[in-house]
Amino acid sequence: MSNTRVNPSAEELAARVERRGEFKNKERGQLPKIFWAEQEPGERVGNIREVPFAYTPMQARAEAVRCLSCKNEPCVSGCPVGVDVPAFLKLVADGDFRGAIRRIKETNLLPAICGRVCPQESQCQENCMVAKVHKDLGFAVSVGKIEAFLADWEREEGGVELPPVGAETGRRVAVIGAGPSGLACAGDLRRFGHEAVVFEAFHKAGGVLVYGIPEFRLPKDIVQAEVDNLERMGVRFEFDTIVGQTFTLDELFEEGFDAVYVATGAGLPYFVNIPGEDANGVYSANEYLTRANLMGAYRFPEEDTPVLRRDDVAVLGGGNVAMDAARTALRLGAKRVYLVYRRSREEMPARLEEVHHAEEEGVEFRMLSAPVEILTGSDGWVRALRVQRCELGEPDEKGRRRPMPIEGAYEELPVQIVIEAIGNGPNPLIPKTTRGLTTTRHGTLVVEEATMMTTRKGVFAGGDIVAGASTVILAMGHGRKAAGAIDAYLKAEAAGLPKPV
């Protein structure tokens, strides 16, 4: 149970921590990185347990010693919520874990989750000066792994500190959607002393954290522990409630809510639009992952929900969702899983760690391959995927080189399941059933950037319903910004002042 990278011995780790005050910056930047252990690929495809193991306390301290405490703090500007990275790493190096987690929570309420799923290599760790010394991004200080270690340490030690709840204001705010954005907003609303009621369509809180991201990347008891903390702060949850269907947003105001935060995410799957998509055996990644994760299909028949299990599976896409679907298919018993992506490896938007793990586990990457048809047998079930080879052309408006199909270069992949993971759009239900909201041509809600207020007074929005399919930390950042703006809005109303619009 280890990965192939060699770590310093226990004595060397202890010596590094002991000598931490003596290192000159140049020496510090040259200290070997501390790697975490992982389940072996052959073993882990047979279970759904988390792949990486946590740092030990001494490993976390020795890794934190590598931080150069850069004056200009490039890692802080790389973090969407501005976690004070050098400050918390210094506390970790000194062994003050309680102080370190407290420091992180000043800006990030969900460190156990962000430490695991944030794309650190393109955020805080991308700017890390240690990576520049080593000329390799992989050598950046492992900010995310240390963050996850601290959150786990705090949970296991007990005495998790909850943010203080403000004196009750008597003002009521409805939060629609219990994903990371809604949860972050609800937590902050309680800090301001407002009542926060979260309405969620599913029977569980967490949004993509529970229905999309699999257990082997983010254990669900970690998400549940964060939800429990919010309940202890007084956040109330109403499950199995689809706002726009069970009742409308307008009815929430009629019922006495003073403001609403819409955080309904981007759960509407896109399809490639090729012939054969209506065949048996074609899934959207959303449905496939929801069945496997939230509905527990990997435990079928002990659980009620099944999901199709076949030997050969093709997953379309190159993002985190595609990696999650491909790795889930392996865990559901597939013998061969193809990942079919139109561009090259460099353009893949997935987190580097997920790409690395997928490859280790045996997912076959079919780069520069565009799906053109799903072929079926006479029984209507999928029998193959037809792909066309591509080459890269000129960059598109986002700077990514366009895939250009090569004439006549076709290939058939013999598969019985096709999972489409090419992206998601915002759910249109709330915009369709609520007057006064404005959407962009992509269907996302238009908000005022400084306050996250929509074009309707008293209705705020954030997360994927505003940003399109984005990241956990950005969704949380929106939730916190909106909570601050809702507080200002309600205070202005109470004081009889014009509300900030």
Among 45, 48, 60, 75, binds ligand SF4 (CB under 6 A): 75
Using CB under 6 A, list all residues that contact ligand FAD. Answer: 117-119, 176-182, 199-202, 207-208, 212-213, 241-244, 263-265, 267, 289, 320-321, 324, 351, 427, 429-430, 463-464, 470-473, 475
Exposed/middle/buried for residue 468 (C-beta within 10 Å: 0-12, 13-18, 19+): middle
- Which of 141, 151, 289, 387 binds ligand SF4 (CB under 6 A)? It is 141
DSSP type of residue 335: S
Alpha-carbon span 172 to 193, nearest angstrom: 10
172-176 and 259-262: which strand pairing? parallel
The site partner of 70 among ligand FAD, ligand SF4, none (C-beta below 5 to 8 Å per kind) is: ligand SF4
Is the CB of residue 345 less than 8 Å from the CB of residue 323?
no
For residue 160, the one-letter residue type is V
Report in angstroms how near the CB of residue 158 gets to ligand FAD at its nearest. 28
**Rounded Cα gap, residues 194 and 188, in angstroms:** 9
Q: Which is nearer to ligand FAD, 267 or 276 (CB)?
A: 267
Cα(8)–Cα(297) distance, rounded to whole angstroms? 41
Choose among ligand FAD, ligand SF4, none what residue 130 binds, the Cβ cut-off being 5 to 8 Å by kind.
ligand SF4
Closest CA to 113 of 152, 81, 163: 152
Per partner kind, with CB cut-offs from 5 to 8 A, the member of ligand SF4, ligand FAD, none near residue 464 is ligand FAD
Site string for ligand SF4, 43-72 (x = CB under 6 A): ------------------------xxxx--
Identified binder of ligand SF4 from the candidate list 38, 50, 73, 195, rule CB under 6 A: 73
Q: Which is nearer to ligand SF4, 85 or 252 (CB)?
A: 85
Number of residues that bind ligand SF4 (CB under 6 A): 16
Report the amino acid identity of residue 380: G
Nearer to ligand SF4, 90 or 105 (CB): 90
Q: Give me the least distance between CB of 99 and ligand SF4, in Å please.
A: 17
For ligand SF4, the binding residue among 48, 85, 117, 223 (CB under 6 A) is 85
By a kind-dependent CB cut-off of 5 to 8 A, residue 249 interacts, out of ligand FAD, ligand SF4, none, with none
Among 385, 419, 415, which residue's Cα sits nearest to residue 283? 419
Side by side, which strands form the sheet with 453-454? Answer: 236-238, 195-199, 172-176, 259-262, 459-461, 453-454, 447-448
CB-nearer residue toward ligand SF4: 75 or 465: 75
Residues 6 or more apart whose Cβ sits within 8 Å of residue 485: 450, 451, 452, 453, 460, 500
What whole-number distance in Å separates Cα of residue 113 and Cα of residue 222?
7
Q: For ligand FAD, give the closer residue by CB, 131 or 474.
A: 474
Which of ligand SF4, ligand FAD, none does residue 226 bind to, with CB < 5 to 8 Å depending on kind? none
User: Which one, 146 or 415, has the nearer CB to ligand SF4?
Assistant: 146
CB 207 within 8 A of CB 197: no
What phi and psi values does residue 171 have, to the nearest 5 degrees? -90, 140
Choice between 319 and 458, CB closer to ligand FAD: 319
Q: Which does 179 bind (CB under 5 to 8 A by kind): ligand SF4, ligand FAD, none?
A: ligand FAD
- Mask 143-182, x = binds ligand SF4 (CB under 6 A)? x---------------------------------------
- Token pair belonging to 441: 């041509």
Q: Is the peptide bond before 301 cis (omega within 30 degrees of 0)?
A: yes
Q: Answer whether 146's CB lies under 8 Å from 92's CB.
A: yes
Cβ-closest position to ligand SF4: 75
Q: Of the candidates 130, 233, 334, 355, which one interacts with ligand SF4 according to CB under 6 A?
A: 130
| Count of all residues that appear for the chain in the document | 501
What are 270's two structure tokens?
A: 């896109």
Q: How far is the CB of 200 from ligand SF4 (least distance, A)?
A: 36
Residue placing its CB nearer to ligand FAD in the complex, 117 or 129:
117
The three-class DSSP label of residue 494 is helix
Nearer to ligand FAD (CB atom), residue 352 or residue 492: 352
What is the Cα–Cα distance from 442 to 444, expressed in whole angstroms?
A: 6
Give the residue from 180, 189, 347 showing the smallest Cα distance to 266. 180
Q: Output the DSSP codes for 191-206.
A: HTT-EEEEE-SSSSS-
Write out the two tokens for 475. Answer: 């969704």
86/405 with CB nearer ligand SF4: 86
Q: Map residue 417 onto helix, strand or coil.
A: strand
Nearer to ligand FAD, 162 or 429 (CB): 429
d(CA 245, CA 243): 5
* Binding range to ligand SF4, per CB under 6 A, among 83-91, 248-256, 308-316, 386-394: 83-91
Q: Is 129 in the site for ligand SF4 (CB under 6 A)?
A: yes
Task: Pick one of ligand SF4, ligand FAD, none as the site partner of residue 337 (Cβ within 5 to 8 A by kind).
Answer: none
Minimum distance from residue 125 beta carbon to ligand SF4 (Å) = 8
Q: Which does 127 bind (CB under 5 to 8 A by kind): ligand SF4, ligand FAD, none?
A: ligand SF4
Q: Which residues bind ligand SF4 (CB under 6 A)?
A: 67-70, 73-75, 85-86, 89, 127-130, 141, 143
